Amino acid sequence: SACSSTAKAFGNAARMITAGICDAAVVGGADSLCLMTLYGFHSLGLTSPGPCRPFDADRDGISIGEGAGFALIEKADRARSGAILLLGVGESSDAYHMSTPHPEGLGARMAMEQALESAGLQPRDIDYINLHGTATKTNDASEDKAVFEIFGPETPCSSTKGATGHLLGAAGITEAIVSILAIECGLMPGSANTRSVDPAMKSNYLLENRQAKVTRVLTNSFGFGGSNCSLVLGVAQ
């Protein structure tokens, strides 16, 4: 579905390159705001009257944004030292509900575990997690359960949707770019507009920006119908 589509594009491109269909691929997408989309989310009771506040104790829904992003993926053997690599891709479809995530984060957990496995990494190898974090009660709670089950309370994580809004079809690509910038700039982004983290959340959620060495990032994109994708990005050694 839309919310994971441009993250899944990374997986499609990687498979095509591995199969020898192409040497490089441009991945990405765009999504612009329209009234039909806004009314649709509003009818589901998912929109906030103000800027969204992911993982906040008083979060009350998404803020729909619009944006676009594109990236070039090439064969890994062409990568120069210091280049950013797509290390792993995980995809799942829990099909729990058309518009509600699995309450225990089953699909999210499966996608993250598959991404780590395909990258040949352990949870401790991830420096930062860019969460899907839409600021709805159910989405944030289920993602937190999945993240905590895999990573425990140590790995720093945050959602950047407080700054961008939910970009729907463009969310996967833009948040992959944010993850790349986190690596290149040595910066774990905090969560704009989130004032106090919901005490029910157990993961290590960042409210403020944190300067730190970042070599590997996992980024989540979860869509309606349980269509989930997690990417692992990291620096070429």
Q: Confidence class of residue 79 from pLDDT cuts 50, 70 and 90?
A: confident
Residue for token digits 């309450």?
103
Residue percentage of the chain with pLDDT more than 70: 100
Neighbours of 230 (CB within 10 A): 31
Say how many domains are in the chain: 1
Instruction: Specify the range with the lowest mean pLDDT, choosing from 6-10, 47-51, 187-191, 216-220.
Output: 47-51
For the whole model, what pTM was predicted?
A: 0.95
**Residues labelled catalytic:** 3, 132, 166
| Residue 118 contacts residue 11 (beta carbons within 8 Å) | no
Most confident among 37-51, 88-102, 186-200 (mean pLDDT): 186-200
Mean pLDDT of 19-46: 92
The CATH number of the domain holding residue 176 is 3.40.47.10
In terms of residue numbers, what domain contains 224?
Answer: 2-235
